[in-house]
Amino acid sequence: MKTKELREQSAADLAKHVLDLRKEQFNLRMQRSAGEFKQTHQFSRVRREIARAKTVLGEKK
């Protein structure tokens, strides 16, 4: 999701989005530890999206 789209969301929606991304990050870690995950670029994508969402959430507060 782009930063412009994140800025249009409410603070509650952003918090929910961060929570969903954290769950996705956890699932990716579990897949990696089981040895069934080959798309390593997904880790950095999720980490960056979390940072983007938390930055916009901080701007709103």
Name the average pLDDT for the chain.
92
Amino acid at site 10: S
Number of domains in the chain: 1
| 24-54 residue pLDDT tens | 999 999 999 998 878 889 999 999 999 999 9
* Radius of gyration of the chain, Cα coordinates, nearest whole angstrom: 13
pTM over 0.75, yes/no: yes
Instruction: Enter the tokens of residue 31.
Output: 């897949």
**DSSP letter (8 states) at residue 9:** S
pLDDT at 59: 92
pLDDT at 2: 86
CATH code, 20: 1.10.287
Strand, coil or helix: what is 8? coil
Domain range for 49: 3-60
pLDDT at 45: 95
